[in-house]
Amino acid sequence: MLNRWLYKRIPDVLRMSTRLGLLLFTCRLRKATNSDPGSTITLLSHFQILLIVNLMKEFTVPPVIFPSGDSSIAGNGNGNGLYHRRVPTAPFQPSRPSSPPIPFVSFDVGPTFSAPAYGGPSSASIFPGEPSLLEELEIDAALIHRKTVSLLNPFRINSALHDPADLSGPFLYYMCFCLFQMLAGKVQFGVVLGYIVVFSAFLYVVLNMLEGKNGNLDLYRCLSLVGYSMLPVVVFSAVSLFVPANFGLAAIFVLWSTRICSRLLTEGTYHGCEHHGLIAYPCFLIYSLFSMLVIF
């Protein structure tokens, strides 16, 4: 209703503004004539006269139709259609081609390989002789599983399984330990990695000094054994999420890790050397520090 009322008042507003403009122009013309009669010709230029004539004309407003389905709003009831507006048409519409479109032509050359469906042939059957991704990365998941199972019993450790050293299992233990710590509100990725590297280098130097020329332990193997021996500490970090960590519980897992690490270093590397107690002491200090990270 308000829009229609405003729309009806548009001609009245334009007429009032035109009359006001003419009145102001007349006052200015009289003032200029009284001061300087010669300036009247300058003010009454051809453009101004044409503007006055055009403004004195009647203003016509094209009919408008309001967006509503009610017939009483669309017109005033007598059929003159004052409020109707013609539907606008697009300025340009391209003509549709009378001929059918050009058919699609396939340019595939040779046989194509489709992706195997669920339960279908694997990549090994499509590409015979192609190794798997784990084999290309030199990751033996079955060997990591066997090593992990052998470490669950600290009194029966198969040190022969750890002869082929690898860092895939230790990296997995490291990530699990850091993720459990992060769930506990402790972000310690860099700290734990730095401790592992420093402690492995420390054990490498100590063991090679004990054995002298007979020492055959390299740093890569030392990193592998220290990383695999972290399994009890990882279990302790996971248990501490549900059970309050204390020193009594931490001592059990620290002794477990110390037993594994010292046993692997003495039997798997030096084949039963007499320095078992001397090697166990730095291992105990190392895993005690990891347990302190879990408790505090």
Average pLDDT over residues 165-174: 93
Return the minimum-mean-pLDDT range out of 100-104, 151-155, 263-267, 282-286: 100-104
Q: Using an 8 Å Cβ cutoff, are 246 and 266 in contact?
A: no
Kindly give, in sequence order, each residue whose CB lies less than 8 Å from that of residue 184, ignoring residues fewer than 6 positions away.
237, 240, 241, 294
Average pLDDT over residues 121-130: 60
Rounded distance between C-alpha atoms, residue 121 and residue 129, angstroms: 14
Rounded distance between C-alpha atoms, residue 196 and residue 262, angstroms: 16
Rounded distance between C-alpha atoms, residue 224 and residue 165, angstroms: 6
Is 80 exceeded by the pLDDT of residue 128? no
Neighbour count for residue 239 (Cβ, 10 Å): 14
Return the minimum-mean-pLDDT range out of 50-64, 90-104, 227-241, 246-260: 50-64
pLDDT tier, 275 (very low <50, low <70, confident <90, very high otherwise): confident
In this predicted model, what pLDDT tens digit does every residue of 43-58 receive, in sequence order? 555 445 555 555 555 5
Q: Give 284 or 208, the one with higher predicted confidence.
A: 284
Q: Using an 8 Å Cβ cutoff, are 195 and 289 in contact?
A: yes
Neighbour count for residue 254 (Cβ, 10 Å): 24
State the pTM of this model: 0.56
